[in-house]
């Protein structure tokens, strides 16, 4: 049987221990004898020895050196672009976050979740200790008036159709990529995975969640990290420039309202938190 080529896309920055764990779990995958993995890892200016570690212990990884200013979206865009320049016909692209540890049959589960060859499959990820869902997919039950209001979907033992994804572990078949394209390069960190899944839905490509958790990763919430006005402009916390682009692309006729609503809510939250802090 001819093997199917799969390009694994990863980007990292100064998280050597997590990157080590991620790569080890990736190369320990089971039940994928018919899959030929080729890993494209963008090291975006790490100063902690990540580059040297990968060269020494994972020489089979295609290491790409970034400028240090790519962030997640830019790094993934570069990894994808590099894979596409490769003289190999890929059947799948697999996004993996470098802080995600994959269970032994993660890739097998992603492949088995497909009901059609064009399906995008999002892996459900859980907390390493509590085993509760931390990343995965969500659905929009109020598409008309609240296009960015999503209800988290937990695993139930069967594939479930979802609207949006977290990019921790996502399988993109070439058939889907051929219709959607790569990452939006202007969404340089947060928001790239949201945008991609919404673009997929507009192309009538089904997005499914795995029946079970396929790995672990601790949760870090964007809104929970915004504690001051300065944080609103943090590159990693969905700054106005990025949110504006997402609203413009996916907010329909009320896109401007959705853009300002987010910051009104955040301003109010920051104000209340400051008042409570002062009283203490």
Q: Which residues of the chain have pLDDT under 70?
A: 1, 143-144, 221-225, 276-280
Same domain? 202 vs 263: no
With CA atoms as reference, report the closest residue to 121 among 5, 213, 9, 209.
209
Structurally, the chain folds into a number of domains equal to: 2
Same domain? 104 vs 190: yes
34: domain CATH number is: 3.90.550.60
Same domain? 79 vs 184: yes
Same domain? 269 vs 181: no
The predicted structure's pLDDT at residue 276: 66
The pLDDT tens digits of the residues spanning 190-237 come to 889 999 999 999 999 999 999 999 999 998 755 456 778 888 888 888
Same domain? 48 vs 139: yes
The predicted structure's pLDDT at residue 128: 95
The predicted structure's pLDDT at residue 228: 82
Same domain? 163 vs 263: no
Q: Identify the residue whose tokens are 């995958």.
A: 29
Q: Across-strand partners of 42?
A: 11, 64
Output b/e per residue, 33-59; b: 16+ Cβ within 10 A.
Answer: eebebebbbbbbbbeeebbebbeeebe
**Concatenated DSSP letters for 237-266?**
S--HHHHHHHHHHHSGGGHHHHHHHHHHHH
Q: Which of 204, 220, 236 is the last residue of a domain?
A: 220
- Residues counted in the chain: 280
pTM of the shown model: 0.92
The predicted structure's pLDDT at residue 143: 66
Show the domain range for 234: 224-279
Same domain? 196 vs 141: yes
Same domain? 145 vs 210: yes
With CA atoms as reference, report the closest residue to 170 among 76, 251, 264.
76
The predicted structure's pLDDT at residue 1: 64
């Amino acid at each position: 049987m001819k093997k199917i080529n799969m390009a694994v896309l990863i980007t990292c920055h100064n998280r050597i221990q997590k990157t080590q764990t991620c790569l080890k779990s990736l190369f320990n995958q089971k039940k994928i004898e018919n899959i030929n993995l080729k890993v494209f890892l963008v090291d975006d200016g790490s100063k902690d020895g990540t580059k040297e570690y990968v060269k020494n212990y994972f020489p089979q990884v295609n290491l790409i050196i970034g400028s240090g200013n790519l962030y997640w979206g830019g790094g993934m865009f570069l990894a994808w672009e590099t894979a596409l320049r490769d003289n190999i016909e890929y059947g799948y692209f697999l996004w993996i976050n470098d802080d995600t540890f994959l269970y032994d049959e993660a890739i097998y589960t992603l492949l088995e979740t497909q009901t059609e060859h064009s399906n995008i499959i999002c892996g459900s990820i859980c907390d390493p200790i509590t085993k509760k869902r931390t990343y995965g997919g969500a659905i929009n039950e109020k598409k008309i008036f609240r296009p960015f209001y999503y209800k988290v979907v937990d695993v139930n033992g069967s594939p479930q159709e979802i609207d949006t994804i977290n990019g921790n572990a996502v399988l993109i078949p070439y058939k889907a990529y051929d219709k959607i394209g790569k990452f939006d390069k202007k969404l340089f960190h947060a928001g790239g995975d949201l945008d991609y899944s919404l673009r997929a839905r507009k192309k009538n490509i089904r997005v499914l969640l795995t029946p079970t958790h396929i790995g672990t990763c601790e949760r870090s919430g964007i809104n929970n990290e915004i504690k001051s006005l300065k944080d609103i402009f943090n590159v990693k916390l969905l700054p106005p420039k990025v949110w504006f682009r997402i609203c413009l692309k996916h907010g329909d006729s009320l896109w401007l309202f959705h853009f300002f609503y987010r910051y009104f809510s955040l301003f109010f939250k920051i104000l209340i938190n400051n008042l409570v802090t002062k009283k203490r």
